[in-house]
Amino acid sequence: MIRSFSCKNFRNVFCEDLEFAKINILIGANNAGKSNFIRALSFAANMVSNPKAETTGFLSELKRNGWNTAVDRHAHDSSFRFVWNLELLKGRSVVYTLCANVGKKREENYIAEESLDSSEAREGALVPYNFFRCHSPKSGIGAFSTAGMTGAKNKRLYTDVNKYESVLLQMDNLFFEKKELFSTPFVRDEIRNVLEAMRIYFRSFFSYSCTAFNIAAIREMQDEQADGSYLKKDGSNFVNVFLNTMNMDSEFRDKYLSVLKKLVNSCEDIRVPEAGGKIWMELKMNGYYFPLSELSDGTIHLLLLLLMLNLPEHNGISMLAIDEPEMNLHPAWQKLLAKEILRCQSFKQCFISTHSPDFLDEFTDGFLLGEVGIFVFDPLSRIPLRKLDIEEMRPELGEWTLGDLYRIGDPMIGGWPQ
């Protein structure tokens, strides 16, 4: 999971060592920075996972963020900086830093600094261990450590690196181009294994905006052979993902249906018919089967959200981000959906932005127990992005809920825009 995150000069997002819980709720007015925060948090994951629109993963993700418009317009320089403190598999924690320079000309967009360090100093060491550092102090040059044990002679290996691509994505090529890297056991085994763990982690990031779901495409019959391994950003392959998951996990359908019945009382069954190479979904309600084309937008949104929250744990979702899950949902459904998020085990960590006080209500107890992080976005405040402090909020809450304070615009939590 992401233990903490720092961001400087990316759009309107600024934060320093912001610590997260398993469930993290983002609140604030429109244009306050919530969506940009998700973009920043997901930058490395999208860089690693998304199809390339440019020659490299880094340039592709930078292009998706608008090239030079990715930098805060009030910044004094043309660069932005991210620092992720990640807890990977087997308890290993690392700090990954990525600093990018941007400009109007294509050649002005490149990685200005990239480094990987351990999160804590090892026994007997004064500072955290550095695995590699690239482009600093000299652009296009990477320095890789060769020894990981305290007291061992740590000769640095220097090699040319592509400033238009992340080391995460070019390390394998570097092994072929620089034989000395591959012949060094610590680099070949330790550093490469850490990078592979990071790639696996980032590739299991999934972020969705409910405003981007293509309801018309979801309602249509789908080709049976379409990819069902993961849900697309627009949700258009929803039925294929559902069928693929059902075929891989014999318990998935019954589990999904039991949760759906809690929210849609009239729902009795769910099925995916197949005919002529096409598949579609039908819900049985009050004795009759209804295809998705006859269901409301809100019901389809609900079906998508419940899919995300009920995928088998072995799917290994490291981070799930959902923008405005309350869209088109009745307040009663919002409350039940929030309870499902609190119960969910399909993800290791989630970030959810919301404008709904009804949705926010259900996270009050989790917040007071320290299990849910609440983050307030207010560009007019002295601290535009802040994490609510439990002890400061405890007297404010009393018999109230977080949603109550949000409804009345309490200055501690924000609320309706002025």
User: What is residue 295's predicted lDDT score, i.e. its pLDDT?
Assistant: 96
Mutual angle of helices 192-203 and 167-177, in 10-degree steps: 140
Question: Taking Cα atoms as reference points, which of 110, 147, 152 lies closest to residue 132?
Answer: 147
pTM reported for the whole predicted model: 0.93
Query: pLDDT class for 380, splitting at 50, 70, 90?
Result: confident
- Is 90 exceeded by the pLDDT of residue 372? yes
Mapped onto helix, strand or coil, the DSSP state of residue 143 is strand
Residue 115 β-bridge partners = 97, 133
In this prediction, residue 415 carries a pLDDT of 59
Contacts of 290 (CB under 8 A, 6+ apart): 282, 283, 284
Strands 278-279 vs 274-275: parallel, antiparallel or unpaired: antiparallel
What is the predicted pLDDT for the residue at 195? Answer: 94
The string of pLDDT tens digits covering residues 205-260 is 999 999 999 999 999 999 987 778 889 999 999 999 999 999 999 999 999 999 99
Domains delineated in the chain: 10-41+317-418 (3.40.50), 43-203 (no CATH), 214-315 (no CATH)
Contacts of 23 (CB under 8 A, 6+ apart): 341, 342, 349, 350, 352, 363, 366, 371, 372, 373
Going by pLDDT thresholds of 50, 70 and 90, the confidence category of residue 325 is very high
Residue 132 has pLDDT above 60, yes or no: yes
Helix (H) or strand (E) holding 219: helix 215-219
- Report pLDDT digits (tens) over 340-363: 999 988 899 999 999 999 999 999
- Tell me the pLDDT tens digit for each residue of 158-170: 999 999 999 999 9
Q: What is the pLDDT of residues 68-123, one digit of tens each?
A: 999 998 888 999 999 999 998 667 899 999 999 999 898 999 999 999 999 887 76
Q: Is the pLDDT of residue 125 over 80?
A: no
Reported as a pLDDT band with limits 50, 70 and 90, residue 149 is low
Tell me the C-alpha distance between 154 and 258, whole Å: 57
Q: How far apart are the first and last CA of the chain?
A: 35
